[in-house]
Structure 1
Amino acid sequence: MEPAGTELAPGIRYAVTDRHGGFSGPPFDSRHLGGATEDSYQDVLRNRESTARELGLAPDRVVWMRQVHSATVARVSRPWGSDAPGLDAVLTDEPGLALAALAADCASVLLGDPVARLVGAAHSGRVGTLAGVVPNLVAAMAEAGAEPARMTALVGPMACGRCYEVPEPMRAEASATLPALWSTTRQGTPALDIRAAITAQLTAAGLTEIRHDPRCTIEDPDLFSHRRDHRTGRFASYIWLEDRSQGSVTM
């Protein structure tokens, strides 16, 4: 993770964390950022605060979602605190307000339009991808003034199509809805390719600038993976608008 994040588009920065550099003990060691596990919530809060500061963000200016594998999107202007509704995508035009999506095999998708000065973040696993959370986020941003042709997307790490094994009936049902989901593991068993499906959804929505963090969570020990480890933490993908009144958001 680079201090101050990486530029996604002019005036828009993002960061993807890994599992290192935090305070949580095993099996959540150590930069665990999710709140819905058996880990000490105080350690999670310490991890969130230190990560925000490393990125040059105010810890109280990060929007965390209560992710429920839905297609629900909301526009936000501040963090919810303890009363966050269940949803899986958010957008904002507030400079310096970071949007965070948690993952440990599902995909995080970050979107930015540098002209409209809008950013969005989505959590899209199998259920959310089939429900259309990413196209819903694109549509919500377009309604707010963004243009898909101007947007840049970053599709984050996830369980890859060669590792995400599922029962054959699940593959058949899912790929009947989204053909790009159909995949096979390296062992020849049924699988789903969430990355290919999200890419197809973004392309159909009018995006042409689609970037990838191609790491597979199951294969990469630097990332949390629920499928690999079962009891584990969550890493996060952040996106935010730089505050032009204060210059670049850096340390």
Structure 2
Amino acid sequence: MDDQVNRLVDKIWNKLQLTPPNTRLLIAISGIPGSGKTELALTMSNRINQHHLRLHPQLPQIATHVPMDGYHLTRRQLSAMPDPNYAHSRRGAAFTFDGYKFLTLVQALREPITMDTQSLFAPSFDHAVKDPVDDDIAIPASCRVVFFEGNYLSLDQEPWRDAAALMDELWFVEVEFEVARKRLVRRHLRAGIAGDEGEAERRVQENDLVNGREIVEGRLGVQEVVVSRYDPAWDA
């Protein structure tokens, strides 16, 4: 993974130097649940900021990452669906996200940066209350590189397709389903999503990996495929 990341850091840094100063560089990192896309997005934004701060220590950071978790529909919205039990049980599927709200953010980030440009805000997800928190992630005008990460960012369906078309690059984190399954069972237990290993296993098999197959089978063409192999550091 380190060699892949080093190459990608160099690629994005060099690409940034060729990007007009009034334009942001937008990279969407997708993959099935448990693939490691969050870790990759965090690593990339941190490494780009390190490059920048070595050269310009007095300037603000220029890279950030935006997770798609904040675009989950709320529990109230799921309860208002025609089959609320099914909607809640399938939370995490593409239809349980507000893709059009995400597209609106991407469109705003595509606008040229000017002296009057204000910070934009993305929602986060509060795992304690199990719902999004609006306007919780600031994207200041000084931020030139945005790494998005989420399951459906390269899905060939509306509105994800429209958002993908606005990205400079689409990346996909590839992982074996069995590796993802083990990671997800542990994650659900630690987060309290499941009460025991059996419940966690059922959720992974009946929801997460079902979504994973849709993500893989419906994927758009991407510029980079990053292979995630088993690594205890990525189990979180």
Kindly indicate which of the two structures has a greater share of residues assigned to strand: 1
Q: Answer with 1 or 2: which has the greater Rg.
A: 2
Q: Identify the TM-score tier after normalising by the shorter chain.
A: 0.3 to 0.5
TM-score norm. by structure 2 comes to: 0.38
The structure that is helix-richer by fraction is 2
TM-score, normalised to structure 1, is 0.36
The structure, 1 or 2, with the larger RCO (C-alpha pairs under 8 Å, 6+ apart) is 2
